[in-house]
Amino acid sequence: MKLTMLGTGNALVTKCYNTCFIIENENDYFMVDAGGGNTVLNQLEKAKINWKEIKHIFVTHKHIDHLLGMIWMIRLICQNMAADKYEGEAYIYGHQEVIEMLETIARMLLQSKQTKFINDRLHLVVVHDGEVKEIIGKKVTFFDIQSTKAKQFGFMMELDQDRKLTCCGDEPYNEENEKYALKSDYLLHEAFCLYDQVDIFHPYEKHHSTVKDACQLAQKLAVKNIILYHSEDQNIKNRKELYTKEGKDYFDGNIYVPNDLEVIEL
């Protein structure tokens, strides 16, 4: 299995793409979020991932840097279904608010010959807190991250019998989700900026974490590997080095600070 980071930045980045990624298991793909625009199509092309092979997509929440790219995915899927150029069915998962919003926007913007496939071959699936689905051959448990802003879900994927990956969304971990994050083999957690740059980026005002915060959390939760994303881009050239250096002061495990299109073997 492997994880490809299509984007690693926060909402306002210009030097990288908004945070979204794909988990691959034997040529089956699970896509998480789509960023804020059609750049997602370019990222998929650069990653050499055929978007037609992506049959399962999860949208964490309604913020534009996560959701609007999904409208382009819906357009492509439905357009190619209408042209008999898309095989099989596709599934988009999200909590009720996200699913309702996606359907509303799609029906407002796309042609009826495309939207007729919504909830026919393109299934918009509402998931609930604690619900388990089998996706790309793995058990995935969706959970409410208890966001203080827009309602948001994360997920835990059982990689195999003894290993798990947990995605906390793009806000700080909430203790109510300890059962999902505790002893994760891979924890995906936002890190808005370095701790010594809080006066520049003001992460706490936006309800985000620093690298120090995320790595202290990973240490507390006995995580093996932490993947830091949803970051600023002013340090983009040295971000990997700077974030890793700060994180090592607080976390004994492996720290990944991926760039866009970087692949992590799971």
Give me the pLDDT at residue 98, please. Answer: 98
Taking residues 213-221, what's their average pLDDT? 98
With a pLDDT cut of 90, the percent of the chain lying above it is 99
Give me the pLDDT at residue 53, please. Answer: 97
The tens digit of pLDDT for each residue in 100-140 reads 999 999 999 999 999 999 999 999 999 999 999 999 999 99
With a pLDDT cut of 70, the percent of the chain lying above it is 100
Does the predicted model carry a pTM greater than 0.95?
Answer: yes
Give me the pLDDT at residue 151, please. Answer: 97
| pLDDT above 90 (res 233) | yes
Give me the pLDDT at residue 197, please. Answer: 98
Two structure tokens written together for 55: 């049959």
Residue carrying structure tokens 């995580």: 223
Taking residues 84-111, what's their average pLDDT? 97
The neighbouring-strand residues paired with 254 are 225
What is the C-alpha separation between 165 and 184, in angstroms, rounded? 6
Taking residues 206-218, what's their average pLDDT? 97
Contact 9, 120 (CB under 8 A): no
Which residue ranges make up each domain of the chain?
A: 2-265
What is the C-alpha separation between 229 and 109, in angstroms, rounded? 31
CATH top class, domain 2-265: alpha beta
Residue carrying structure tokens 């966001």: 147
Give me the pLDDT at residue 134, please. Answer: 98
pLDDT confidence bin for 265, thresholds 50/70/90:
very high
Give me the pLDDT at residue 148, please. Answer: 84
The neighbouring-strand residues paired with 227 are 188, 256
Taking residues 171-199, what's their average pLDDT? 97
Taking residues 174-182, what's their average pLDDT? 97
pLDDT confidence bin for 143, thresholds 50/70/90:
very high
Taking residues 45-67, what's their average pLDDT? 98
